Amino acid sequence: MQKALAIARREIEERSFVFITAVVLTLAPLLALIVPRGTMHDRLSAFGVLSLILAVGFTGGLAITLGVSLVGRELTEKRMSFFFSRPVTGAQIWFGKLTAAIAILMVCIAIVFLPSTFFYPAVSSSWVAFPFLISTIIAGSLFLLLMGHTLSTIFRARSAWIALDFCAAVAFKIALVAALVPLLLHRAVGDAMLVLTIVALLFMSIIAIGGARQLSRGRIDVRRNHRELSKVLWISLAVVLILVYAAVLWVTAIGPRDLKQVWPRSAPAGSWTYIEGWAKNRGDFTGSFFYDVATGASIRVPMQHVWAGQFDRNGTAAVWLEPANPIGLLIDQAFSTRRPQPMELVVSRLEANATPKHTGIILNGGASFTEVTSDLSRVAVIAGGILTVYDVNTRASLASLQVGDAYTRFISPNTIRIVAFTDDHMKRAQELDLRSRKVKTLFAMNDARFTMLRLGSDDRTLIVHTWRDGSVPYRFIDLSTGRDLPAPSLTAESSAIVLHDGRIVTAQPGHVSVYSGAVLQRDIAIDASSPRLQEEREPGKILVWDTKLRGRSLLVDVDRGAVVTTAKGIVPVGPSIFRDEQGTLITWDGKPIL
């Protein structure tokens, strides 16, 4: 210890001119105050900026210089024998020199950054920013110091083995980036930065300690020093890589239950829902799954998918888009080039142990809407205003149609209905026959600016809802004939849906009415002042959401004419899932879904 300190003291004395340089560079920006240009305020700003720039530049340069000359110069000038002829161990020599370099660096940092701490009091007085900045400056300069030593040792050896170091460095970088890719693909940029920071700190520790071994075994020969340092460095970094991979493996190994702050989107029927959220205890790592609320089964979905569509109407299948080139996607995101990425259509049955099927159908860029048939044989894609229907098994495009903004509904594997709503003035419902490729317009409406078209659960009733004064608020069109159906007249504020069997259900404050055609079948009183109807959940059962503050949801049996259950304070987010007052996702029975 004492000998190491004696060595440290010698090293510091030899480099004492550095302190003078630091003081000079700290005082030099004062010249900016003397120059007769601009106001005093301008000159002060110039001083502040200049001081900061010089401080950063000097610190960086000093760190590298100290690192490079730590042992490198003496090795090349063959003066290392001066130390090894004395009764001191290699470790004492190393730690003495390293201590001196660190001490010099720290003192110089304190000197050159002193004016900045006065000049930027907002930062220096902050309990958060100041320690963070100081730590970053210190850590960064130590990193440069130790990296300088490493590179200096490797290059001064002038040995052919440099090629090995080079290959190892490249391999390490590639392996490290590869390890981070899963994190980045799950939007865990913070985690990735943390991993890089930890790896950098580990590297610094490896060199700080490995240097002692390097000197103990390498002694006066620069090539032996290189060899010993390389051995320590690459073996240690290999261990670090293994740890990184193990950590990333652990982070990525999540299940639906590991998610918090979940955003759900549930199927129109059945117990499956799509969820995504942050993983607990894993920093900013996110996950997404299809999840069966009833059984807990799940299918994992890559985070960078595009959710442009929906479940099939039975809640038994789903379709989504995944990037065909995830690395390309990451690069595009990193550089914000916003190039359209090749996206592949992926379909899956929603059942336990189902494997998503990558269809091999690649789209250039995303899509605004997708739909899959329940038997997974057909997929409809609307992208760039064009509807294309694909045969999943053959990957062939069966038909293509210009539609603008629209959504579709397969009514059979070969028949698809389209509700298009781009045009403010013209909205229409069409039917496309995939065998004949013929398009039929079933309903069209001009001057449709204040109108919304909605296809009912029976696939043939089109609800035309207008909210302009003077027009009929609700019309119900039979798409097989194109003619209005006899229907009740409703106010614009009513909420209306069509059941699977064609019956029309409306809700108004205080009651729910069931119509067959225009005939009122049943009127059910409900305790809801501002009801909103959700789509039919089970045959005959509909969900009514009371939207008032602290709203409620009610399940109404339209056949029995009764309110089946009431749940206070929960908001439906799909047929089977609700958010309670605390924001937890729960089933109708109040059980958390995860």
Partner 1 sequence: MTNETAPAVFADAVTIRYGSKVAVDNGTLSVARGSVYALLGRNGAGKSSLVRTLLGQQPASAGTIRLFGEDVWTHRATLMERVGIVPEDADAPPDMRVDKLTRFWSSLYARWDVTLFNERLERFHIAPRTKFGDLSKGQKKQVMLALSLATSPELLLLDDPTLGLDVVARKSLFEEVIAELADRGITVLITTHDLGGVETIADRVGVMHDGRLVLDEELETLKSRFRRVRFAARPVALANGSNVRAWGSGSEVVVSNFPEWNEPADAVEVSPMSLEEIFIAVTGEEA
From candidates 43, 213, 224, 511, binder to partner 1 by CB under 8 A: 224
Query: Which range in 3-11, 337-345, 407-415, 452-460 contacts partner 1 by CB under 8 A?
Result: 3-11
Q: Does 6 bind partner 1 (CB under 8 A)?
A: yes
Q: Does 250 bind partner 1 (CB under 8 A)?
A: no
Whole-angstrom distance, CA of residue 11 vs CA of residue 57? 23
In sequence order, which residues have a C-beta less than 8 Å from that of residue 512 and are 6 or more positions away? 505, 506, 523, 524, 526, 531, 533, 542, 544, 556, 558
Cβ 213 to partner 1 shortest distance, Å:
15
Whole-angstrom distance, CA of residue 275 vs CA of residue 290? 6
From candidates 10, 257, 300, 358, binder to partner 1 by CB under 8 A: 10
Whole-angstrom distance, CA of residue 519 vs CA of residue 488? 7
Whole-angstrom distance, CA of residue 361 vs CA of residue 399? 14
Q: Does 158 bind partner 1 (CB under 8 A)?
A: no
Q: Which among 462, 459, 458 is positioned nearest to 448, based on CA atoms?
A: 462
Query: Which range in 20-28, 213-221, 298-306, 557-565 contacts partner 1 by CB under 8 A?
Result: 213-221
Show the site string, 105-144: x = touches partner 1 by CB under 8 A, - = not. ----------------------------------------
What is the DSSP secondary-structure string of 394-414? T--EEEEEE-SSEEEEEEETT
Instruction: Return the number of other C-beta atoms located less than 10 Å from residue 271's C-beta.
Output: 19
* Amino acid, single-letter form, for residue 469: D
Cβ 277 to partner 1 shortest distance, Å:
59
Q: Does 557 bind partner 1 (CB under 8 A)?
A: no
Q: Does 231 bind partner 1 (CB under 8 A)?
A: no
Cβ 108 to partner 1 shortest distance, Å:
19
Q: Does 20 bind partner 1 (CB under 8 A)?
A: no
Q: Does 522 bind partner 1 (CB under 8 A)?
A: no
Q: Would you state the torsion angle of the CA atoms of residues 157, 160, 163, 165, taken in this order, to the nearest 10 degrees?
A: -40
Instruction: Return the number of other C-beta atoms located less than 10 Å from residue 481's C-beta.
Output: 11
Whole-angstrom distance, CA of residue 404 vs CA of residue 412? 22
Q: Does 43 bind partner 1 (CB under 8 A)?
A: no
Q: Which among 136, 146, 133, 8 is positioned nearest to 64, based on CA atoms?
A: 146
From candidates 34, 36, 41, 87, binder to partner 1 by CB under 8 A: 87
Q: Does 523 bind partner 1 (CB under 8 A)?
A: no
Q: Does 85 bind partner 1 (CB under 8 A)?
A: yes
From candidates 155, 171, 221, 265, binder to partner 1 by CB under 8 A: 221
From candidates 46, 49, 209, 219, binder to partner 1 by CB under 8 A: 219
Phi-psi region of 465 (alpha: psi -120 to 50; beta: other; left: phi over 0): beta
Q: Would you state the torsion angle of the CA atoms of residues 186, 188, 191, 197, taken in this order, to the nearest 10 degrees?
A: 110
Query: Which range in 8-16, 279-287, 341-349, 514-522 contacts partner 1 by CB under 8 A?
Result: 8-16
Cβ 65 to partner 1 shortest distance, Å:
16
Cβ 217 to partner 1 shortest distance, Å:
9
Residues of this chain that interact with partner 1 (CB under 8 A) are 2-3, 6-7, 9-10, 13-14, 78-82, 84-89, 92, 219-221, 224
